[in-house]
Amino acid sequence: MRVEGVTVRFSGLLALDDVGFTVEPGSIHALIGPNGAGKSTCFNVLSGVCRPQHGSVRFGDAELTRLRPHRIAALGVARTFQNIVMTAGTVADNLMLGRHALTRAGFTATALRLPRAVREQRVHLERAREIAELVGLGLLFHTPVDLLSYGDRKRVEMARALCLEPRLLLLDEPVAGMNGTERARTAETVRAVRDELGLSVLLVEHDMGLVMRLADTVTVLDFGRRIAGGTPDEVRQDPAVLRAYLGT
Ligand code: ADP
Ligand code: MG
């Protein structure tokens, strides 16, 4: 994914000011920065929820900038939200909703349980189970989501996005609200997902320790501007980053 010159203005406020960065295939890229830096706005631009006044977002050969969210998802870019949005039912139910966009048989054929639709549903269910296992939800596949811990609900979110078979996964604060053990486990999951599925990951995260351990490359935003970028080691030593985070 190549982001160039993206500018978003909300009435008087420049939420993003000429922001650019690249996510290489198969890499984990982190977008970091203090509160209000523009991270979520950037995510919203990449997933088609927010239209920038200037700039472009390219994914492979496709120009995403003016596409609607479902078109962007269909091109292989799936996202999670900072606040969990979940349907009632089991983990399996939630993941099957994620598969819905990939279903070929129409709603009527599925409702009537025509053989073709039943076969297709079975294939989707098997794939949903594989994805659940990959993110560590294998044993909870038939558990109602209301009974899950917060950490496991965040896994359901990630798994549901993965059910779209994306080539790029966007994660908005995947470990927010988690304790140390859950954080470490989620970091392992993100790495496993990247390694097993060979996709790229772009994550927004506050937890600097996690970002430094997990990301291959980092972009730092502050007040809507890109103030630094590079490997975790390069970014860690960058004076502009220290100023932004320590407020000196
Ligand atoms: P971050 O995710 O890095 O904390 P955001 O992207 O949420 O930052 O916000 C960047 C800036 O844009 C903030 O000053 C925020 O108040 C403002 N902002 C975000 N969304 C809107 C909106 N829909 N309308 C007006 N201002 C917004
Ligand atoms: Mg945010």
Q: For the whole model, what pTM was predicted?
A: 0.91
- 149 three-state secondary structure: coil
DSSP string, 20-68: EEE--TT-EEEEE-STTSSHHHHHHHHTTSS--SEEEEEETTEE-TT--
Quick one: how many helices (H) and strands (E) in the chain? 10, 10
Q: How far is CA 58 from the centre of its chain?
A: 17
Domain edges within the chain:
1-76+166-248, 86-163
Residue nearest to atom 25 of ligand 1 (CA): 10
Residue with CA nearest ligand 1 atom 14 = 36
Which of 16, 19, 41, 222 has most ligand 1 atoms within 8 Å of its beta carbon, as the pocket-test mutant?
A: 41
State the closest ligand 1 atom to the C-alpha of 42, by its place in the atom list counted from 1. 6
Residues facing 16 on adjacent strands: 8
Q: pLDDT (tens digit, 9 = 90+) per residue, 18-59?
A: 999 999 999 999 999 988 999 999 999 999 999 999 999 999
d(C-alpha 124, C-alpha 218), whole Å: 35
Return the residue whose CA atom lies nearest to atom 22 of ligand 1. 10
- Topology at the third CATH level for domain 1-76+166-248: Rossmann fold (3.40.50)
ipTM for the assembly:
0.97
Instruction: Please indicate whether residue 244 or residue 133 has the higher confidence score (pLDDT).
Output: 133
> CB within 6 Å of ligand 1 — which residues?
10, 13, 15, 33, 35-41
Query: How remote is the CA of residue 9 from the centroid of ligand 1, in Å?
Result: 10
pLDDT exceeds cutoff 70 at 63: yes
